[in-house]
Amino acid sequence: MAAAGAVAVSLLQAVVGMFLIAAATHHDIARAGGLSNLVNRLDGAKMLALAAVAVYLSARGTWDRRLPNWLRALAAAAAAALAVSGVDYLLLANSVAWTVYISGPLLLAWLAATGIWLTRGSPSW
């Protein structure tokens, strides 16, 4: 459910981004600023949803097998970093915005490693 929420938030961000471009094109600075803040808040919500997915997968594994310990540790680290940066973006606090430089690479590493691990033992199509 959290993964579907992250996808929905991404689609909403795309729509808001189009309105942001229109506002910036028409030099409507106030509306563009508000829409930019909305995109950042939505990004925080998406980070929290992705953190929930990482926690779920690290605790339960996939539908047919449990993740190896190294991948569970990577998922837990990514979830923690995503949660911290997600709350910061959601609140527009900017106090620990630098954590996105940690959560971004951890998210990419976790996603890539999970994809490789899931397809490694599956039959080829």
Is 9 among the domain residues?
yes
- The reply to whether 11 falls in a domain is yes
Examine residue 15 and state whether it is found in any structural domain, yes or no.
yes
User: Residue 9 sits in which domain range?
Assistant: 2-120
96: pLDDT confidence band, cut at 50, 70 and 90? confident
- Assess if residue 93 is contained within a domain: yes
User: Domain tally for the chain?
Assistant: 1
88: pLDDT strictly greater than 90? yes
Confidence of residue 57 (pLDDT cuts 50, 70, 90): confident
31 within some domain: yes
Burial of 81 (0-12, 13-18, 19+ CB in 10 A): buried
Q: Is residue 55 part of a domain?
A: yes
What's the chain's Rg over C-alpha atoms? 17
Q: Is residue 125 part of a domain?
A: no
User: Does the model's pTM come out above 0.75?
Assistant: yes
User: Is residue 18 assigned to a domain?
Assistant: yes
